Amino acid sequence: MNHTLTGLDEAAEEERSIVVEEEYLGVRLYLKEEMVDEERSYSDGWAYHDGLLIKATSEELLRATVARMVGGGDDRSLLDQRSFWDVIERVEQSDLFFFLDFTPVVTVLEELVSIQSAGAPPNILGITPERVFEALALDVLEGFYLSLDLSTDETSVDSGFFYREKRGLVSLLAYRNGSLPHPNYIPDDSLAVSILRFDFGEFWTAMEKIISDISPVLSGLYGGYREQLSTTLGIDFNQLIIENIDEEIVTYSGFGADQKAAGNPTLEELSQVYVLKPRDLQGFEMAIGVINGLLGIGQSSWEPREYLGTTIFTRSLSLAMLSGGAGAPPSLLSYAFTEEYLLFCVGSPRLLESALARIDRSGDSLWDNRDLDLAIRKFPADSATFTYHDLNALLNSLFVTVARLQQQVEGTEDGLTICDPSNLPDKKNFPFFILGKAYAEENGFFGKSLLIRKSE
């Protein structure tokens, strides 16, 4: 055994760390130790074997890992797990690979829950740590993986998690694989786009089941309140709202024409449009009116105006207004019903107008981008989600945001400029976008994302 960096006696006197070198099964181990109360204590360790660096949080784990690699360790391994074999089959190649076995994690959580439950006082709703833990059914989780494959023009990230059955928290993942739409109303300069197939009816049924398992009392109170609302208002919210939303949901973010005209908008000014397709449009519109009334927002507080034959309702609203207190500046909220869709916008109403101008009409849209079209072909046609992010535009807005915040800071010394607003990057500085899809399968939920360089 060799001592490096310092001697044990010197380390004891100066309370410094040492690195001890040791041969184990033909492999040299490096054990970093500290003197604690005049005793040597392991703090870190590593070894090199067959071109690989091995790091471990304990000496026992380091030795066990080396023993496995040289063929003299325990027969048990991750290869005994079905989920790990599934990952190996999914990941063709990678420069970075990570896998987490949920089984020991859930075991530790279960022990902590038992300790908490032992000292938890009773409550009127009957909620206990054990009931919450059992309702969430974390024991169905098997493993999580992430792999990263790097190249000059394209970087691929694969990830996902496995479960044994769709119960508890996992049952809330009410995604559906299928052919996702490419709506013409999404502008070609959108910063972020999300399209998904999600069953709100299944999601809400699963949520009600979890609430009932956690607290039958709370579930009964909710059921009674819902029944009272249905009797008083004459409408069934589950039927007209939750079960009325079609599986296809579209959201996108960008800046309205007014914001772009003002020049260099910040991320704080980013506007979002949400597009839903109610199965019963008239019933959904009636339910929206009732919700406005429950929130104390009369229809007269919405300012209506006509745009291309569609009525847009706009008003300013903030959480402070709902609570009756002071707070952040209010946001502009807008919504409109077409013959098929409900469009809801947070931010500039001009972004909502651009969507209305494109629905069932021609015009430049996101899908005219040839780079995006080529990238989409690298994925299977059917999926549960689609996401797109223009990294250059997002970073540019981030730099503008930092520059604006910097200007608001009082007493900043000269020469401490974080971001020069007069020298913002152009589209050539970071010409990349991220495209991703996710897939719902019987034993898990998996996704793939590509970081792709734009063509010149």
The pLDDT value given to residue 321:
47
The pLDDT value given to residue 408:
63
The answer to the question of residue 102 being in a domain is no
**Range in 1-15, 181-195, 366-380, 410-424 with the lowest mean pLDDT:** 1-15
The pLDDT value given to residue 2:
46
The answer to the question of residue 240 being in a domain is no
Q: How far is CA 59 from the centre of its chain?
A: 36
The answer to the question of residue 106 being in a domain is no
Q: What is the mean pLDDT of the chain?
A: 83
Using alpha carbons only, what angle is made at residue 387 by residues 385 and 391, rounded to the nearest 5 degrees? 165
Decide if 354 contacts 256 (C-beta within 8 A): yes
The H or E element containing residue 106 is: helix 102-119
The answer to the question of residue 224 being in a domain is no
pLDDT at 197 over 90: yes
Q: Which residues pair with 254 in a beta bridge?
A: 271
57: containing domain: 2-75
Closest CA to 164 of 142, 133, 180, 188: 142
List pLDDT tens digits, range 362-404.
667 899 999 999 999 999 989 999 999 998 888 888 877 777 7
The answer to the question of residue 68 being in a domain is yes
The pLDDT value given to residue 334:
93
The answer to the question of residue 33 being in a domain is yes
The H or E element containing residue 129 is: helix 129-136
pLDDT at 13 over 60: no
List pLDDT tens digits, range 124-144.
888 888 999 999 999 999 999
Number of domains in the chain: 1
List pLDDT tens digits, range 51-88.
889 998 888 889 888 988 887 556 667 777 777 888 88
The answer to the question of residue 188 being in a domain is no
pLDDT at 311 over 90: yes
The pLDDT value given to residue 422:
60
The pLDDT value given to residue 251:
96
For the residues 228-242, what does the mean pLDDT come to?
A: 79
Alpha helices by DSSP H, 271-369: 281-294, 319-323, 349-358
pLDDT at 30 over 60: yes
The pLDDT value given to residue 91:
83
The answer to the question of residue 272 being in a domain is no
The pLDDT value given to residue 106:
94
The pLDDT value given to residue 430:
77
Decide if 196 contacts 275 (C-beta within 8 A): no
3-state secondary structure of 382: strand
The pLDDT value given to residue 397:
81
Calpha distance 93→321 (Å, rounded)? 53
For the residues 261-288, what does the mean pLDDT come to?
A: 85
